[in-house]
Homo-oligomer: A and B are copies of this chain.
Amino acid sequence: MGLSLYFTIRYGALDAGARGAMSEEGTETLEREDEGYALDARTVAAIRLAVAAGDSARLGELLEPLHPADVADLLEQVDSAHRREILLLGASFLTGDILSEIDESIREEVIEFLPQDVLADAVRDLESDDVVDLLEDLDPPQQEFILDALEDADRVAVERALSYPEFSAGRLMQREVVMAPEHWTVGETIDHLRANKKTLPDQFYHVIVVDPRLRPVAYVTLGKILSTKRSVKLARIQEDSFRTIPVDQAESEVAYAFNQYHLISAPVVDDDGRLVGVITIDDAMTVLDEEHEEDILRLAGVGEGSLSDRVVETTRQRFPWLFVNLITAIIASVVIAQFEAAITQVVALAVLMPIIASMGGNAGTQSLTVAVRALATKDLTGSNVWRVVRREVTVGLINGAIFALVMGAVGLVWFGSIDLGLVIAVAMVLNLAVAALAGILIPVTLDKLGVDPALASGTFVTTVTDVVGFFAFLGLASAVLL
């Protein structure tokens, strides 16, 4: 096959050696094959050694092949003292790219510690949206210093971006847009790209076609431009169906749209529909990842939280949720206290009651998590919420009935009382059904009220299942056994 045939390989053409070692059983071993990425322990150890020896040249050798994201990970993984040593010895290797990859939890610390000329150089390397990202979480004096380090045009751009609300499309977008008027040909477009080479953004995937008032009317993929004759008008190869993003839209909605509609890049428009910037999929992916992190941490009652936070900060983040939990646990205890007399007479109640509460809490968390996730992906909406509630409660009743049988038997065998077995069984069914109901309705209600359901649902749901669980079990027991 000649070289000139190389171009596109339709499926099947170059398959020969590719599958030798592969089979269905291969799946098992895949999981652990992550050595290629991230920092391995050996590199980290070597870096520590170089730092301890004060060997700046060796440190440079070790840092040089690492991706900026990995260098940032390294700085996050070591403790504060080591971090300072690395920064002191390796300041000259600290590029803007590394700075913009560093987690916010240590960003301020790193920036404060850097020599000002190093910081100024690093920041001047960055594109304006990365500078914005870097500045957002800094204190005003640090912001001011970095802004002063920028060239005038860049400074203006960054200040404009910062004037958009936090977490909006306006903060996320690049202002460098590649666009063309409707009447251009492929040839004219290519010539203009060549003429404006210096000011083109690093990455772009579409040319946005605009009308004379700068409103986007279509887009053309670069692949189409490259594979079409120079004389063809853009209008003949453009895609007319596309989505624009309002500049004040929340970044979580932007990420949802990219994920749902498989967008690669999307034009951002102002209130008059005029093009003001462009958002690309890599930025949307970062937002999606952050949203997920937020959901997962909030569900567990961890506010923000990152591994590089210090003890004081972490304690402060965890405290409020534990405090809320304490209050709800005390409420549950007050319920138990109403039945002190029953417990004194039948101590088996004290032994068995945590089982009912725990099962309810677990079943509630299951429903709740499915609901929170479905709300985030817009799969749970007004039109199917009652069907989902019905399904969850039915599932709760069925599982409740099965566990009622099991626990009824355990109660009977362990404590030799049919009545106790019955009480436990009925309380179990009741609590699992209530858990399912609360697990859906509480997050849906919070969402309707504009509160993030991931943030507060957990506490509410377990309060409900604890109170209902203890009350049903101890109340029934008082009525039946005493």
A314-B369 contact, Cβ under 8 Å, with A330-B410, A382-B41: no
Interface pair A370/B179, CB less than 8 Å apart: no
Is A388 close to B, CB under 8 A? Answer: yes
Most B CB within 10 A of own CB, among A36, A44, A73, A318: A318
Contact residues in B for A392 (Cβ distance below 8 Å): 314
Which of B170, B194, B257 is close to A37, meaning CB atoms less than 8 Å apart? B257
Contact residues in B for A292 (Cβ distance below 8 Å): 289, 292, 296
Interface pair A164/B340, CB less than 8 Å apart: no
Contact residues in B for A177 (Cβ distance below 8 Å): 8-9
Interface pair B315/A176, CB less than 8 Å apart: no
Contact residues in B for A22 (Cβ distance below 8 Å): 163-165, 168, 170, 247-248
Interface pair B326/A359, CB less than 8 Å apart: yes
Which of B180, B302, B366 is close to A366, meaning CB atoms less than 8 Å apart? B302
Is A365 close to B, CB under 8 A? Answer: yes
Interface pair B39/A381, CB less than 8 Å apart: yes
Residue of B whose beta carbon sits closest to that of A358: B329
Which of B247, B329, B403 is close to A18, meaning CB atoms less than 8 Å apart? B247
Which of B9, B11, B300 is close to A153, meaning CB atoms less than 8 Å apart? B11
Interface pair B369/A274, CB less than 8 Å apart: no
29 pairs of residues in contact across A and B, judged by CB atoms under 8 Å: A6-B179, A7-B179, A8-B199, A8-B201, A11-B128, A11-B157, A14-B214, A15-B160, A18-B270, A19-B164, A20-B271, A22-B248, A27-B166, A27-B168, A30-B165, A31-B450, A32-B450, A36-B246, A37-B253, A73-B379, A190-B226, A225-B226, A259-B286, A285-B288, A301-B365, A305-B370, A315-B398, A321-B362, A329-B359
Interface of A is mostly: helix
Interchain residue pairs A-B with the least CB separation, the first 9: A11-B157, A300-B369, A350-B350, A18-B270, A222-B222, A30-B250, A11-B175, A292-B292, A193-B227
Over the window 256-269 of chain A, the binary record of Cβ atoms lying under 8 Å from chain B Cβ atoms (1 yes, 0 no) is: 11111110100000
Is A476 close to B, CB under 8 A? Answer: no
Which of B175, B274, B352 is close to A333, meaning CB atoms less than 8 Å apart? B352
Contact residues in B for A192 (Cβ distance below 8 Å): 4, 7
A373-B293 contact, Cβ under 8 Å, with A175-B9, A318-B366: yes
Interface pair A399/B227, CB less than 8 Å apart: no
Interface pair B163/A300, CB less than 8 Å apart: no
Which of A53-61, A111-119, A134-142, A275-283 sits within the interface? Answer: A275-283
Contact residues in B for A354 (Cβ distance below 8 Å): 329, 332-333, 336, 353-354, 357, 466, 470
Interface pair B366/A321, CB less than 8 Å apart: yes
Over the window 383-397 of chain A, the binary record of Cβ atoms lying under 8 Å from chain B Cβ atoms (1 yes, 0 no) is: 110011001101100
Interface residues in A317-364 (C-beta closer than 8 Å to B): 318-319, 321-323, 325-326, 329-330, 332-333, 336-337, 340, 343-344, 347, 349-355, 357-359, 362-363
Interface residues in A136-184 (C-beta closer than 8 Å to B): 153-154, 156-157, 160, 163-168, 170, 175-181
Is A481 close to B, CB under 8 A? Answer: no
A340-B336 contact, Cβ under 8 Å, with A34-B253, A176-B11, A229-B194: no
Q: How far is the CA of A362 from the CA of B329 in the complex (A)?
A: 11
Residue of B whose beta carbon sits closest to that of A332: B354
Is A445 close to B, CB under 8 A? Answer: no
Copies in the assembly, this chain: 2
Contact residues in B for A272 (Cβ distance below 8 Å): 17
Interface residues in A280-313 (C-beta closer than 8 Å to B): 281-282, 284-286, 288-289, 292-293, 295-297, 299-302, 305-307, 310-311
Interface pair A30/B167, CB less than 8 Å apart: yes
Q: How far is the CA of A404 from the CA of B37 in the complex (A)?
A: 44
Contact residues in B for A349 (Cβ distance below 8 Å): 350
Contact residues in B for A406 (Cβ distance below 8 Å): 326
Is A482 close to B, CB under 8 A? Answer: no
Interface pair B369/A37, CB less than 8 Å apart: no
Contact residues in B for A374 (Cβ distance below 8 Å): 307
Contact residues in B for A201 (Cβ distance below 8 Å): 8, 223
Q: How far is the CA of A77 from the CA of B381 in the complex (A)?
A: 8
Q: How far is the CA of A15 from the CA of B156 in the complex (A)?
A: 11
Q: How far is the CA of A333 from the CA of B356 in the complex (A)?
A: 11
Interface pair B285/A168, CB less than 8 Å apart: no
Interface pair B365/A336, CB less than 8 Å apart: no
Q: How far is the CA of A466 from the CA of B361 in the complex (A)?
A: 14
Interface pair A6/B333, CB less than 8 Å apart: no
Interface pair A326/B311, CB less than 8 Å apart: no
Q: How far is the CA of A175 from the CA of B10 in the complex (A)?
A: 7
